[in-house]
Structure formats: C-alpha cells, structure tokens
Amino acid sequence: MKTANIFNIQRYSIHDGPGIRTTVFFKGCPLNCWWCHNPESQATTQELLFDQERCLGCGNCLRNCPVGAIELVDGKALRAKSKCDICGQCIQSCPVSAVELVGQIMTVEEVIEETEKDLLFYEESGGGVTCSGGEPLLQADFLTLLADYYQQAEIELAVDTCGQIAWEKLGRLAPKIALFLYDLKFIDSEKHQQYTGVGNQLILANLAKLAAANCRIIARIPLIPGINDHISNIKEIGQFLTELNIKDVNLLPYHRAGVDKYQRLGKEYKLSECEDLSEERLAQLVGILEKLGLNTKIGG
C-alpha cells in the first residue's frame, strides 16, 4: 500500500490555481527559503509544533515521555529534539493542546476520499485538486498514483512545484498533470543559492523542458522586499518567461503568516525585519511584466 507524508488538506482553496480547489500539502522540500510560510513543510519526517505561550508547565508531558526528552525550564516544557522519537505521548497528555503533530501518513485512497468531498465545487467553478507542499514531487510515486486516478475521474490536477527535482521524475509525470504552478525566485543562481540553499540551474532547465513539451504553466514569483523584488530581477524573470512562451504569471507578495511556526518548531526566522511591499511597488512590478506581454495577476 503506497503512502505519503501529508501535513494538511485544505478545502475550499482559491489561491492555488483556478476555481475552487482542495490543496493537498506534502511534507518535505529540497529548498530552505528564508521566507517560507510553511516551515513545517521542509523536513520530510513528522515533527512536533510546541506553543510555549499555551504551556501551563503542569509537567504531564515530562512524566509521560518514555525517552526522557522533556524537562521543565522556567515553568515551561523544553524538548530535546535529539532524544525525541515523535511517539505522541506528550500530545495526548497535554491538557491545553500546546503540542501538535505535523505530518500524517496517508494512503492514496484516503487522500482521494478527502478531495472528492468537494467534487460539486470543482465542477461548478472550474477548479480541482492542487498538490503543494513542501515539494510534492519528492513523493513522486504517490503523486503518480493520484494523477492516474484524477485523470480517469476527469478532475483537474495542478502541481505546485519549486522545480528542484530530477527530470526523470518530472518528465515522466508531466503528461498526467493538467497545470503546473511553477515557482521562480531568481534568475541569478548565486542569489538563489544564498536565499534557498541551492542553485537554480536545474529549476530553470526543467521549466524550459516543461514549456517545450507544451505543458500548461503558471509561473509564480514570491516577492520578498529587499531580496528579489529588484526591478532587474523581475525583468530577467519576465524575459526568461517570454523566451519560453509562458504567458501567465502570479505575483505573490510577502506576508508574515506562519512566522510563529518558526518559534514553535525551534527554528530561526531570518526575515524578522522584513516589511510588506507597498501598493505602488506592486503596481510598478506588475507594469514591468505586462510590458513584456505577460498576463500578470497579484495572488493566485
């Protein structure tokens, strides 16, 4: 039985492709973007989110932890990640739900059952299912089984991808995908390396191959103030898309949703001083892409 690590299934989604959709979030990502608003998606394994503000310091989790991974420090539970085996005893023993498990092992049948609850919405709105993450292509065999089913059921499947995946996997799956939501951050590979942890040669090469195969693609550009919202970078991305004859672009303005998750995961958030983009700046960047003949939308 094929399974995947899924950390969320969001129904009635209107930001992950056209129409009303159900978005299936896969755990695990090859990138480590500074601005990621789903930091719980990056690790391939299950994780625990701990809300220290909610913790009562009652000690229930400490007493029930079978591996001694928890101690009380200044009246709050503190977990040693190196000892924790994610058994879930602390979750069950917490009276205020300060601990949450991220990642559920699901079968193909379970995911299909959940996504088919909104069939009527898909049909009436021109929507469907979107597989996102993380990077869904890291669990390509599972995704292939889903794609085969949705093709037969005539449910549109979109895949939101960072593109950092072997072409062997991506090319084999591409004919089964109705729409790719393809993330682009930079054209400059050194900048991409600095802010995501990997260069972008493979990402750009894969996008070119998908475009040459006449796949349906919407390019998605996260706009991070002071990092990749420079006019030169946006022009370079726009010119690259024009050369590939990709016409549709979604601009995704930076937001601070999910910042609290970093603390709950015990991770550092590197953009604590980052501010939102102004409406004027957004309009300027939209204008640059539209002048290149690209159908540009804020959000999507």
pLDDT over 70 at 1, yes or no = no
* Same domain assignment for residues 200 and 57: no
* pTM confidence score: 0.94
- State which of 62, 85, 102 marks the end of a domain: 102
Q: Give the model's pLDDT for residue 188.
A: 97
| Pair (269, 133) in one structural domain | yes
Of 57, 86, 102, at which residue does a domain stop? 102
Residues 173 and 242 occupy one common structural domain: yes
Residues 6+ apart with CB under 8 A from 52: 76, 77, 98, 263, 264
**Per-residue DSSP letters for 57-76?**
---HHHHH-TT--EEEETTE
63 and 131 in a common domain: no
- Same-domain status, 86 and 110: no
Q: What is the mean pLDDT of the chain?
A: 95
- What was the pLDDT predicted at 223? 97
pLDDT one-digit tens code per residue, 31-86: 999 999 999 999 999 999 999 999 999 999 999 999 999 999 999 999 998 899 99
Q: What is the pLDDT of residue 37?
A: 92
Residues 219, 184 contacting (CB under 8 angstroms) = yes
Residue 82: domain span: 48-102
225 and 140 inside one domain: yes
Q: What pLDDT, in 10s, does the model give residues 153-172? A: 999 999 999 999 999 999 99
Residues 116 and 98 in one domain: no
Q: What is the CATH number of the domain that holds 208?
A: 3.20.20.70
User: What CATH number does the domain containing 93 carry?
Assistant: 3.30.70.20
Where does the pLDDT of residue 272 fall: very low under 50, low under 70, confident under 90, or very high at 90 and above? confident
Mean pLDDT of 119-145: 96
Residues 232 and 251 occupy one common structural domain: yes
Q: Give the C-alpha separation, 183 to 250, whole Å.
A: 9
Inform me whether the pLDDT recorded for 178 exceeds 90: yes
- pLDDT: is 240 or 266 the higher one? 240
Same domain (yes/no): 66, 155: no
Q: Which residues of 141-169 are buried (b: 16+ CB within 10 A; e: fewer)?
A: ebbbbbbebbeeeebbbbbbbbbbbeeee
CA-to-CA distance for 54 and 34, rounded, in angstroms? 26
DSSP string for the chain = --EEEEEEEEEEESSSSSSSEEEEEES--S---TT-S-GGGSSSS-EEEE-TTT-----HHHHH-TT--EEEETTEEEE-TTT----SHHHHH-TT--EEEE-EEEEHHHHHHHHGGGHHHHHHHT-EEEEESS-GGGGHHHHHHHHHHHHHHT-EEEEEE---S-HHHHHHHGGG-SEEEEE---S-HHHHHHHHSS-SHHHHHHHHHHHHTT--EEEEEEE-TTTT--HHHHHHHHHHHHHTT--EEEEEE---TTHHHHHHHT---TTTT--PPPHHHHHHHHHHHHHTT-EEEE--
In this structure, are 161 and 246 located in the same domain? yes
Say whether both 133 and 15 belong to one domain. Answer: yes
Of 59, 84, 102, the position where a domain reaches its end is 102
- Same domain, residue pair 274 and 287: yes
Q: Give the count of domains, the chain.
A: 2
